[in-house]
């Protein structure tokens, strides 16, 4: 019931924000994607028991609003956690609104609903600022307003850059630094630096709408409190995406 309510509210907000003109069709952009990864790594936490997963989703965008659906499916059994192959362990629904404050600064606000198998579902609201310059530095603040008993805040600062290597072939590099402030339900009951991440991706545009890619991400804890919660780890995978 809770999941259906969130879906309904997200769809209602999206519909109100995107009314259909009487004389023209609504122009909606988006894409669908699917990928196979050797594990599910989230904020440094291995959430698949170190076994492979299939992840996929879809984004629909109109006039700055984006409605996203994403799910994680176990590709292999994880007997210790009780996950079975083919089982969806998490489904996220995100409603985002991104707009430009000026020529160099963009603001994003939104909410992520986490539907979790075997755990209580939760929600995180977030706000992010991006400088539309070299490396696109971005600061994001997440607030677990649902299940967190303490502050429920999680901060990330990230940079990234893309390079065109050849026609249709591009390389992307990224880095992220995070700080946890008593986000006790999703991350941990402490206030300290959490982890850093380094990522690299290689994408090839097969057609104007179809892209295949491969990626690798390295995550490592920073503070002693984070080291008690997560280990240094990597996740790699391949993906296929379709834009429309």
Residue 86 belongs to a domain with what CATH number? 2.40.160.40
Residue 183 inside a domain? The answer is yes
Q: Which of 79, 82, 153, 68 is nearest to 113 (CA)?
A: 68
Write out pLDDT tens, residues 119-157: 999 999 999 999 999 999 999 999 999 999 999 999 999
What percent of the chain shows pLDDT beyond 90? Answer: 84
Question: Is 47 within a domain?
Answer: yes
Residue 24 inside a domain? The answer is: no
Residues above pLDDT 70, as percent of the chain: 89
Residue 24 has what pLDDT?
52
In a domain, 73, yes or no: yes
Q: Residue 21 pLDDT > 60, yes or no? A: no
Q: Residue 5: enclosing H or E segment and its boundaries?
A: helix 2-17
Answer whether residue 88 is part of any domain.
Answer: yes
Read off the pLDDT band of 23 (50, 70, 90).
very low
pLDDT at position 17 is 44
Tokens encoding 164: 């065109």
Confidence band of 27 (pLDDT split at 50, 70, 90): confident
- Output the pLDDT for position 83: 77
Token pair belonging to 201: 């991706």
- Entry pTM: 0.88
| 213, β-bridge pairs | 203, 239
Average pLDDT across the chain, whole number: 91
Is residue 25 one of the residues assigned to a domain?
no
CB-based contacts of 203: which residues, under 8 Å, 6+ apart? 169, 170, 172, 211, 212, 213
69 in any annotated domain: yes
Is it the case that residue 12 has pLDDT exceeding 60?
A: no
For 16-25, 37-46, 108-117, 171-180, which range has the lowest pLDDT when averaged over its residues? 16-25
Reported as type and span, the H/E element at residue 4 is helix 2-17
pLDDT number for residue 77: 80
- Full domain range(s) for residue 225: 2-19+31-243
Confidence of residue 25 (pLDDT cuts 50, 70, 90): low
> How many structural domains does the chain have?
1
Whole-number pLDDT of residue 80: 74
Domain presence at residue 100: yes
């Amino acid at each position: 019931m809770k999941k259906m309510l969130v879906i309904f509210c997200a769809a209602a907000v999206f519909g109100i924000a995107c009314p259909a003109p009487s004389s023209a069709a609504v122009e909606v952009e988006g894409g669908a994607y699917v990928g196979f990864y050797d594990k599910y790594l989230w904020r440094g936490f291995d959430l698949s028991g170190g076994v492979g997963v299939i992840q996929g989703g879809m984004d629909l965008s109109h006039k700055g609003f984006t409605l996203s659906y994403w799910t994680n499916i176990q590709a292999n059994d994880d007997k210790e956690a009780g996950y079975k192959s083919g089982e969806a362990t998490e489904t996220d629904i995100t409603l985002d609104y991104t707009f430009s404050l000026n020529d160099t600064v963009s603001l994003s606000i939104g909410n992520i609903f986490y539907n979790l198998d075997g755990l209580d579902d939760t929600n995180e609201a977030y706000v992010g600022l991006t400088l539309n310059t070299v490396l696109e530095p971005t600061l994001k603040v997440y607030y677990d307003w649902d299940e967190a008993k303490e502050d429920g805040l999680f901060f990330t600062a990230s940079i990234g850059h893309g390079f065109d290597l050849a026609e249709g072939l591009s390389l992307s590099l990224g880095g992220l630094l995070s700080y946890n402030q008593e986000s006790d339900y999703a991350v941990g009951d402490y206030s300290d630096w959490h982890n850093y991440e380094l990522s690299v991706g290689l994408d090839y545009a097969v057609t104007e709408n179809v892209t295949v890619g491969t990626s690798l991400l390295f995550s490592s804890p920073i503070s002693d409190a984070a080291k008690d919660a997560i280990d240094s780890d990597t996740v790699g995978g391949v993906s296929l995406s379709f834009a429309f």
